[in-house]
Amino acid sequence: MPRKKAETAVIDRTGYDEHMRDIVVSEVLTENYMPYAMSVIKSRALPEIDGFKPAHRKLLYTMYQMKLFDKKTKCANIVGQTMQYNPHGDSSIYETLVRLTEDNESLLTPLISSKGNFGKHYSRDMAYAAYRYTEAGFTKIAAELFEGINKNAVDMADNFDATKKEPVLLPTSFPNILAMPTLGIAVGMASNIASFNLKELCEATIEYIKDPKTDILDIMPGPDFSTGGDILFDRDEMDKIYRTGKGSIVVRSKYTVDKKNRRIEIREIPYSTTTEAIIENVISLCKSKRIMDIDDIRDDTDKNGLLITIEYKRSADPDEIMNKLYSLTPLQDTFSCNFTMLINNNPVVLGVYGILDEWIKFRTECIKRELTYDLEIFRKKLHLMEGLQKILLNIDKAIKIIRGTKLDKDVIPNLMKGFDIDKTQAEYITEIRLRNINEEWILDRTKEIEKIKEDIKKNETIISSDKALKKQIIKKLKEIANKEDYIKPRKTTINTEVKVEKVTVIEEVKNYDVKIIISEHGYVKKVPTSTYKEDTEYKLKDDDRILKIIDAQNIGEVLTFTDKGVVYKTKISDIEVCKAGEFGTFIRSAAEIPDDEKTVFITATGDFSGNMIVVFENGKVAKFPLNVYETKQNRKKLINAFYTNVKPVAFYHVLEDVNIKMKSDGGKLLIFNSEMINLKNSKTTQGTQVMKLPKETKILKSRIIEELDKKSSKIVVKSIPASGFSRKK
């Protein structure tokens, strides 16, 4: 049968005018949104191999042109000058400047020396002063960002209005991309690059250049953050970050304890959090009673640096408090590495090894261009000196030519003819002062020619040798690594002893008496004893009914037994308080019980007191303490919870011995007291024979007898096992 042709939708064009046209949405997105996305990725959000985003680079180049290496100027002046390269507004430029300063403490290796209030990276609410009040200039290491920039080391491009030139990249003489922490959010991608200690970084780069197989983790064991802290070192994870650029680093705060004043003093925190976030989290925990050993917490940060003070109760253990806070607050936080950057205008994710490879290529090219620039200068100078040398060999002839020339304009052509030199050489010679034509000056110029030839040969040799170029990189890195003005001790320590998975916390739960109401269909209602009323009618589903009401505590647990011999444990504190008009918590869902297991019994306990009694269909009864289900590891599932080779008929959780009635399918009845059953310590005990049963006879049902009346007293047995009593017709 032939397939029907798809019907073309008819578009109602009522109200259209001649200027309107139909367009495809996907085409509009491609034409308009994609250029915007690529602009954000390439021109705003992601750093390049020099470690800078365009906003950073434009600001620093402006300061370079202002020659702020040994002086400071008002930040308002810097911001105004930078707008010649960055027209995005003064506030964004100033924010960029603030982050690069020493006083803000964002960078491990600050590039801008500052004077005034620049806020703090670790404080969300500590605002920086307006740029009319603050001053800034370069730190000493900033000079290393521009080495060779005036020797064509990098390409220059037009600024936004083509009135000035600015560098496409800065020729950084060390891997600044790994020395400067960078966070960038682009369209569809993001970047989060950690900072590394400058000395370790330079030494690791040197060794990597010498031997690409070097394990730089042995030299540079991990990032180093300006806020300090303690890295919980995982070598496998760190190696993954170094090779792929993705992974997580767990950083925890450092603290000291003032036992005399019962204070915990925190002076170093993870780079990814703030003092306000930490304090707010701790206050929230205290209000919810999850932590009850803290009296006060405050921010005592001052001119001496960051300080969070926690005052604890007399009976509390400060180390235990911090262990809990590490798990529940940003005092222990994760730095998620995502080393995304631009290489040749394309976004890529690189590990530390990959970044060093790209930086070495970049730096090699910078040095080659710088040496090529010098080489051209040397060659031009040699050309002039060779012309001068010809003159100096017969200076009298030169004087005679000059004196014999009638017109000034003919001096240069006559010298060119007389000594076989070109115009450039002749012009240089005519500019020499007469007093310089002495023996000493002539000898110095002759020596200079030899020196220039040596320099040319040296530069040509280095340019043509990749090995020699890398030696130049190593030489500079060694200089940086040994300069006291540049190098600072590692702030973030590497902790190889504490593992993240070993940090365990038992959360404090508010305890109070509760009533646990259990329905036949397995719904559990938690009602605080203080609000419980016996005459309250609780909402139930059709054909459901309340089986029992148990007194328990909020720190207790609900135990759900299944026909597979498994007990599932649910914390009562995890069960929501139930109102009269609610069904409550479906315990199978809360305990995550599989569909192929059938619920056979539910109970609740606050302290695991009392005993479990299990009646089996073979006439045996098992009795064992409920505390066999108590575990220190907070396990939620316990297998082999009772004997399963014989089908259980009934389960009872009793706090004291009770009378239990049993009935067999052969019509026999008896009542026995559970005191007659020996208490076993094993939950899988087969039990004690209570009723003797003929072959192919089994117990049908069982129940607890609250009070013995005259009739039921007649079937009470004095000893076990017993045959039971026949039921009268």
Phi, psi for 726 (deg, rounded to 5): -75, 145
CA separation for the pair 621, 651 (Å, rounded): 10
Phi, psi for 600 (deg, rounded to 5): -115, -20
What is the per-residue DSSP string for 379-403?
HHHHHHHHHHHHHHTTHHHHHHHHH
Q: How many residues does the chain have?
A: 729
CA separation for the pair 102, 115 (Å, rounded): 9
CA separation for the pair 19, 267 (Å, rounded): 66
Give me Rg for the CA atoms of the chain.
43
Determine whether 688 is exposed, middle or buried from the number of CB atoms within 10 Å of its CB (0-12, 13-18, 19+).
middle
Q: How far is CA 656 from CA 625, 673, 674, 702, 705, in A?
A: 11, 11, 9, 18, 13
Question: What's the farthest any 2 CA atoms get from each other in the chain?
Answer: 160
CA separation for the pair 461, 378 (Å, rounded): 14
The angle, 0 to 180 degrees and rounded to 10, between the axes of the packed helices 275-287 and 318-328 is 110
* Residues contacting 145, CB < 8 A, separation 6+: 50, 60, 111, 170, 171, 172, 173, 176
The label of the residue with tokens 């450092």 reads 254
CA separation for the pair 380, 201 (Å, rounded): 39
Contact 512, 577 (CB under 8 A): no
Degrees to nearest 5, angle at CA 347 with 342 and 349? 95
Residue 524, strand partner residues? 518, 585
HSE-up of residue 723 (Cα within 13 Å, Cβ side):
5
| Cα dihedral 399/403/408/413 (nearest 10) | -50
Prior bond of 721 cis (ω within 30°)? yes
Contact 637, 583 (CB under 8 A): no
| Cα dihedral 38/341/359/213 (nearest 10) | -140
Catalytic residue (choose from 33, 36, 133, 512): 133
- Of residues 330, 339, 161, 152, the one with CA closest to residue 244: 339
* Residues contacting 559, CB < 8 A, separation 6+: 567, 568, 569, 602, 603, 604, 605, 629
Determine whether 699 is exposed, middle or buried from the number of CB atoms within 10 Å of its CB (0-12, 13-18, 19+).
buried
What is the per-residue DSSP string for 617-657?
TTSEEEEEEGGGG--SS--SEESS-S--SS-EEEEEEESS-
CA separation for the pair 312, 111 (Å, rounded): 40
CA separation for the pair 249, 241 (Å, rounded): 9
Could you confirm whether 16 is annotated as catalytic?
A: no
The 3-state DSSP class for residue 362 equals helix
CA separation for the pair 333, 323 (Å, rounded): 13
CA separation for the pair 62, 73 (Å, rounded): 12
Known catalytic residues are 133
